[in-house]
Amino acid sequence: MSVVDIKIPSPGESITEVEIGNWLKSDGDYVQVDETICEIESDKATLPLIAENSGKLKIILNEGDIAGVGDVACTIDTSGTSTGNTKTSNLNAEKSNQDVNSLKKEKSIDLTLSSESSISRHETPYSDGHPSPAAKKMMSESGLSNLSGSGPGGRVTKNDIQQHLSNVSKSPGSSAVKEKHADSHVISGLRNIKRERMSRLRRKLAERLVSVKNETAMLTTFNEVDMSAVVELRSQNKDSFLKKHNVRLGYMSLFTKACTEALELFPAVNARIEGNEIVFHDYVDMGIAVSAPKGLMVPVVRNAESLSLAQIEVEIARLAQRARENILSIDEMEGGTFSITNGGVFGSMLSTPIINPPQSAILGMHNIVERPMAVDGKIEIRPVMFVALSYDHRVIDGQQSVSFLVKVKENLENPARMLLS
């Protein structure tokens, strides 16, 4: 018998403990080598726990447990085989077939009895004691039952219902009866609630968002961008771009390029506070907000200022795919100097994005909507996007923030000049 310990791997240099997330396999299951058996959650990401050998799984740490790097999360008995599972499956299948056959027999007996019962019931005419269709509808609307009928065989007729209602309306206390009847028709919907554990990543994100509001002097400035030139550029080149670079030409790469050029002119927007100092960067590590199954992720495109549109698109696509597959590393999410978030993909018209600390600013993109604009003294319908820049006023002055956003607007409204400069 050979038992292998599966230990908590190190998510990154600064992380010493993690939380056990969702076990994807049950205790006693047979697992395959390199199979993901559990999700472990750190403050910055959710990482997979991989089976290093094939065998029978023994879970040691349960969901929600806090563990240190190097702790044993589970063991794998490599002498175990999947034969037992196969036998169990066969037995279960055989038992299931027996249950199905038994159920079929029971249903057959029930149908026979039901049929015999139906025959015996129909020996008496159906109309005897049953209301007519019109009377049945009136009884349902009035909430009546068990009335004596004057029709053939005691059948309840429409006249019987009308006579009964007339007598009730004339009798004392009829209003109370009506009120009680009205209350009985109140329909209430379901009021179920559901509780689920917040992941460690979600809890950490919540803490950071609250700290940003409490510890920074965050303001937001807005502008609008005429997207006509960008939309036309993308429409004319998207097919050839895809054919040449095997990646789609999106708006995010153009916004990244517009921001990197503006950041060179306004370095304070690309800076951060560290103690009593302001740290400036001569490079742009661009954080791109991505909606992932486990929550918001912000992977970083390194040295975005030196990349071409194609290189930016390739890197964004790679990082976004890894985020959706929940396999982003800590290194891929650390060290951003500026971020972009695009609420427009969800239909947002305008928002105030929250700074991603320790960064000092973040740009918010929104949806593109055709709006009337004044162009050379005429009203024209143009595709317009509202953009928002949230910034830390401790680092960035109002003049710098507004001028930066105006420069981004100018770059996007004349993308040819931006790309050729």
Catalytic residues, which ones? 393, 397
Query: Could you report how far apart the first and last alpha carbons of the chain are, in Å?
Result: 68
- Dihedral (CA of 209, 327, 78, 26) sign: positive
What six digits make up the tokens of 59? Answer: 């879970």
Buried b (16+ CB within 10 A) or exposed e, 81-118: eeeeeeeeeeeeeeeeeeeeeeeeeeeeeeeeeeeeee
| HEC assignment per residue over 125-151 | CCCCCCCCHHHHHHHHHHCCCCCCCCC
> Hey, which residues does 385 pair with through a beta bridge?
225, 368
The span from the CA of 145 to the CA of 140, in Å, is: 8
Helix (DSSP H) and strand (DSSP E) numbers for the chain: 10, 19
Going by their DSSP bridges, the two strands 338-342 and 286-288 should be labelled as parallel
- Closest C-alpha among 252, 363, 362 to residue 314: 252
